[in-house]
Structure 1
């Protein structure tokens, strides 16, 4: 990779990560004012609901009740607040044009107008309109709003990013170091790591390697103290590129391996080891089968020799030997017949599984092939917007195919009784948080609102790995069959002291009762559904059902067409 190419990669990664780490949550001062306003204007029901959902960050509900207040109310002050609510809500949902429209309608005498400028600056930065972003951030600097209401270090950092994109390097350097002076006193490791990488990038694009490399190294060292795998991966990757440009390929390889290690989750490593172990056991089993066949052949030969030997002794012994051989033949025939029937069942399952999986794999590969053709054509036309969409599409296809193969591996291990189960007490709310983190990009891509409403006091007595597999499959299905701007939530119901219900509810396309009955059919074999384009192959759900059963739980579905779906599990609680 040439140095110029390396700079472009860094500029994309670092500006995005820095921005995402600097977006500030709703400040305490604003929340206090909103609660006082709600208490003062008790009769304004729509405003009260809008501010309530705004504080809870439930953006769809915030937008709905805000427009009701604007339409039905006449108070100018409350209208300004509601415009601000809608602007923030649209911004959080990545509807930036709508957000700008709402925020520009707010009058400048609004108490929190500096926060309006701050939000407009962040939107402009997202839209890569850097000159506008600079204007808005500088307006925030001029405001009389106390600095406790926003981090001035974040404003400086954002200004530095804007100037860096505009290649006004001296201004970028000035603001980055203003931000650094403040951030080194703040307790925000991720933001400080992003700032170090931005400063390094600033010097690197100017070919000032001696100034840039110490900041890459600072970011890398600091990333050791954080649990954020993305930052660990980025900093290690940057160090690999630095060493590669230095010509130290051995050290570059070490950093690149470290970057790849952070990229691959521990779960993926376990899958690789599980697959290798499965292949080893399969090879051993085949050898043992061959040994047993040879042993049986030797026994038959010995029986025949014994029969001939005893025939010389007398007719009685010949008859006895004949009866014995006949009995052995009947017994062996029964064994062979049972083995043949079992083999036929296994072949039937294999054929069905190959039919299902090959159909899905072929569709995924064809889609990937078509998308790659478009990608090549787009590279020639240099249409970067379309190129970005095709890359996202390729990633989605690859992730779907990987999920199918992952489910196939676990299903095979489960069917051959080689999947290790170890039940222990696990904290339900924390597990759901982990699963939500892994699926945040998919949720963000479809603007789906996710809620983890599971009780924080519930502990389940289950196998942790299998529970994660179940939750990942069910959440993946919920995202797949949810519409844009949908909602997904996890919540619990305590049945009694021994069991708890975990419900995964979505607002997606739903399914008919016939589809539910087919999916819940109690069978060990897979079947290709007539409406598979809607409900999928059923492999993931088949895996979920069997793993829930292995954990002494039950599973059922409630759904209606176009009214969403509830996936309900009943699992034992830890005592």
Structure 2
């Protein structure tokens, strides 16, 4: 929000010739004309100019330079309102010169603010910020809290326009502190709104939500319901972004109710679309479809067009195009590809009609994905190549990366592996470039900061040096001459000593380097030997103890079965068979882990990455563990959605989750549950957790879990046995797949084994689609 002069009502009165109205006291007349000029400013700028010029005439007669500058300031504001920018700028410059010469700081603040407004109207945002900063500096010198607040507000607003949210946060945070001191609730509410929006853009969703809720509470205290729908929508958006969908629905429904009471069709359509977005994310496609269609019905262009300006109409049509594309996405997920294509093509048609060609990327890729599902590969490629061209023309690397990956998918699915490989290489190269760009940006910012500080220090030192040179030139010259004589006389005597000392230092340094090198080699060899010895010990421990026990149990049970078969009753036979089965299952699992572990130790286990569906892997392992879970009446539950993809070795990932689920069941209490949870760690990694409600692990024992040199194993809640090898194998495999594993646990409360796993580009498709599900992107400004 840019602060401007507010309109002030004035009762009209008939004015006679102005010179006859001048009081004998010129001072009173001057004050009256300045007052009239200011009051007419927004009502009648032409009349304001007339009164301003009369005030200028009187100020000239009285040699009142401050009043003269004030009249120039008002006249300049009037010309600015009449869009006579050149005249306005000329008067502002004259006013600035007078205020500056007179040292009248309040006048300088107002003049700088008006310079900023002119530059803002000319879309010269950077220049406007410079003038507002000048106004802020003088306001601080005057300790004028209200003017400081105005300047902070104006600078923060323009930084938001420039998308410099980090800088804007600094100014708006200071604005909040001042407004809290001034205790103006309306201004405080506005500031909380700014902070909510800034934190939203910075991805600080908790802070954004906190500020939006504070704004809402203040609006309710002030009984300010004028834009309550927008406040509620902002809060709903935060809950939507952090996947708290029930809360998002609650606030979107409240916003919808208000918009329905107001009869605002555009905002009703927006609220309906927002509700559709939430149901889409919840994969309740039928409800999403219902709300999207209701939203579309509200966008009756014949009625809407009469209410909107050209720019608003453009924004409305852009939103409608997004809504049509969203409908296409829903129908795609429902398997109705014909309707999906129709809606996506309608979206493209609207965007082309309004000249919004730069935003065709997502509708084009949506159609391409539908055509790929229909196995119409040539047509799919045609749309994707057009999308890639748009991404390249806009120099948007994120979109280029996505386009290349989709083209790779089409070629790979259709069997054209050569072209698939080329586009996968392009995808990988752009992905690496994006990481490098992000890194380089941080480095450049740091270097620029360091260089600026260095230059400032150099300039300061240079100024000090120049001062000393001017004041002490003769003294320094004399000292230099004396010093040179002393140095020369001692130079010869010290030269030899320095040479000997230098040679000795070099010799010592060389010896130190050789010793350090030999020591590092010894340490490396010692580490290798230690790991090899630990591996050997682990191997023999398993063979000597863990393999012997199940084999011995099978042998004893089978001997007993052979010798006492006829003497046993059915219950005894059943128990004996169960013992043999349990021992054989334990032995099978042990041998499988032992075989894979040994292959990793001798280098025969190759890492073969591919795109892997985590949902499928978890549910395959659930099937394997079903019997073991049923024995303890344990419920297996996964929060991983279908088509959640990662990059990794399929067999290794199966082994990892098989061991983690087996351990979770083994150490879970009877009648409990085992949960597999997932969340986004960042843009490139998932955080997957295997959670049990079992006996837990002590902090001391957690440190032993993944160490080859420590033999650690415990008995399960139903006396199940283990080797300790499974978790070591999990650690080695997850690290081969570019991830990490660690544990959080409390005794008698259960354990959480946490994995970080690289994301595949499939998830980026879902993220892209989600980001498009809205009619407009409301920004509170």
TM-score by length of 2: 0.30
Question: Which structure's CA Rg is the greater one?
Answer: 2
TM-score by length of 1: 0.40
